[in-house]
Structure 1
Amino acid sequence: MKVGDPVEVYSSFEQTWSSGFEISDIRDGGYGVRRTHDGALIPNTTSLRDVRPATQHHH
Protein backbone atom coordinates (compact mmCIF):
# COMPACT_ATOMS: atom_id res chain seq x y z
CA MET A 1 0.00 0.00 0.00
CA LYS A 2 1.10 3.57 -0.56
CA VAL A 3 0.40 7.03 0.82
CA GLY A 4 -3.14 8.13 -0.03
CA ASP A 5 -4.54 4.62 -0.41
CA PRO A 6 -7.98 4.14 1.19
CA VAL A 7 -7.83 1.54 3.95
CA GLU A 8 -9.83 -0.16 6.67
CA VAL A 9 -8.39 -0.28 10.19
CA TYR A 10 -8.93 -3.14 12.64
CA SER A 11 -10.05 -2.36 16.18
CA SER A 12 -8.98 -5.11 18.57
CA PHE A 13 -11.26 -3.56 21.20
CA GLU A 14 -14.36 -3.81 19.02
CA GLN A 15 -13.05 -6.74 16.94
CA THR A 16 -14.27 -5.08 13.75
CA TRP A 17 -12.81 -3.41 10.65
CA SER A 18 -13.63 0.27 10.15
CA SER A 19 -13.54 2.12 6.84
CA GLY A 20 -12.99 5.81 6.24
CA PHE A 21 -9.20 5.97 6.60
CA GLU A 22 -6.22 6.47 4.32
CA ILE A 23 -2.48 5.94 4.57
CA SER A 24 -0.81 9.21 5.62
CA ASP A 25 2.77 7.91 5.77
CA ILE A 26 4.79 4.71 5.92
CA ARG A 27 6.63 4.00 9.18
CA ASP A 28 8.82 1.31 10.69
CA GLY A 29 6.48 -1.55 11.51
CA GLY A 30 3.31 -0.01 10.12
CA TYR A 31 1.53 3.02 8.77
CA GLY A 32 0.43 6.46 9.76
CA VAL A 33 -3.32 6.60 9.21
CA ARG A 34 -5.66 9.57 8.70
CA ARG A 35 -9.46 9.73 8.89
CA THR A 36 -10.73 10.81 5.51
CA HIS A 37 -13.83 12.73 6.66
CA ASP A 38 -11.91 15.28 8.75
CA GLY A 39 -8.22 14.66 7.98
CA ALA A 40 -7.41 13.84 11.63
CA LEU A 41 -4.28 11.74 12.11
CA ILE A 42 -4.50 8.65 14.31
CA PRO A 43 -1.78 9.31 16.92
CA ASN A 44 -0.04 5.92 17.02
CA THR A 45 1.55 3.83 14.30
CA THR A 46 -0.98 1.32 13.02
CA SER A 47 0.45 -2.18 12.70
CA LEU A 48 0.74 -3.79 9.27
CA ARG A 49 -1.68 -6.53 10.39
CA ASP A 50 -4.30 -3.97 11.42
CA VAL A 51 -4.58 -2.25 8.03
CA ARG A 52 -6.11 -3.66 4.86
CA PRO A 53 -7.11 -2.12 1.53
CA ALA A 54 -10.60 -0.64 1.65
CA THR A 55 -13.22 -2.70 -0.12
CA GLN A 56 -16.14 -1.44 -2.10
CA HIS A 57 -19.34 -2.76 -0.56
CA HIS A 58 -22.17 -3.23 -3.02
CA HIS A 59 -25.66 -3.56 -1.53
Structure 2
Amino acid sequence: MLRTKRRQRAEEQAAKIALKLLFPLIFFIFPSLLVVLMGSAFIQIYRVLLPTMGSGQ
Protein backbone atom coordinates (compact mmCIF):
# COMPACT_ATOMS: atom_id res chain seq x y z
CA MET A 1 0.00 0.00 0.00
CA LEU A 2 2.79 2.45 0.86
CA ARG A 3 4.60 1.67 -2.38
CA THR A 4 1.46 2.38 -4.37
CA LYS A 5 0.92 5.73 -2.66
CA ARG A 6 4.56 6.69 -3.13
CA ARG A 7 4.40 5.75 -6.82
CA GLN A 8 1.18 7.74 -7.30
CA ARG A 9 2.73 10.80 -5.63
CA ALA A 10 5.80 10.49 -7.84
CA GLU A 11 3.65 10.23 -10.96
CA GLU A 12 1.61 13.29 -9.93
CA GLN A 13 4.76 15.31 -9.32
CA ALA A 14 6.20 14.21 -12.66
CA ALA A 15 3.03 15.37 -14.42
CA LYS A 16 3.24 18.77 -12.70
CA ILE A 17 6.88 19.30 -13.72
CA ALA A 18 5.94 19.53 -17.39
CA LEU A 19 3.54 22.38 -16.66
CA LYS A 20 6.04 24.15 -14.41
CA LEU A 21 8.76 23.98 -17.09
CA LEU A 22 6.48 25.21 -19.86
CA PHE A 23 6.53 28.90 -18.92
CA PRO A 24 10.32 29.26 -18.49
CA LEU A 25 10.78 27.48 -21.81
CA ILE A 26 8.38 29.79 -23.62
CA PHE A 27 9.57 33.06 -22.08
CA PHE A 28 13.33 32.55 -21.70
CA ILE A 29 14.78 29.65 -23.65
CA PHE A 30 12.82 29.81 -26.92
CA PRO A 31 13.34 33.56 -27.51
CA SER A 32 17.08 33.31 -26.90
CA LEU A 33 17.29 30.28 -29.17
CA LEU A 34 15.33 32.18 -31.81
CA VAL A 35 17.71 35.15 -31.59
CA VAL A 36 20.73 32.89 -32.00
CA LEU A 37 19.27 30.99 -34.95
CA MET A 38 17.79 33.99 -36.73
CA GLY A 39 20.80 36.21 -36.02
CA SER A 40 23.03 34.30 -38.41
CA ALA A 41 20.29 34.34 -41.05
CA PHE A 42 19.88 38.12 -40.73
CA ILE A 43 23.63 38.61 -41.05
CA GLN A 44 23.67 36.58 -44.25
CA ILE A 45 20.68 38.50 -45.65
CA TYR A 46 22.33 41.79 -44.72
CA ARG A 47 25.56 40.79 -46.51
CA VAL A 48 23.64 39.85 -49.64
CA LEU A 49 21.34 42.90 -49.74
CA LEU A 50 23.86 45.58 -48.73
CA PRO A 51 25.89 45.51 -51.98
CA THR A 52 22.67 45.39 -53.98
CA MET A 53 21.25 48.48 -52.28
CA GLY A 54 24.52 50.40 -52.52
CA SER A 55 25.02 49.88 -56.26
CA GLY A 56 21.44 50.87 -57.13
CA GLN A 57 21.96 54.53 -56.21
Q: What interval of TM-score do these two structures reach, taking the shorter chain for normalisation?
A: under 0.3
Greater RCO (CA < 8 Å, at least 6 residues apart): 1
Please identify the structure whose Cα radius of gyration is greater. 2
TM-score, normalised via structure 1 length: 0.14
More strand by share: 1
More helix by share: 2
TM-score, normalised via structure 2 length: 0.14
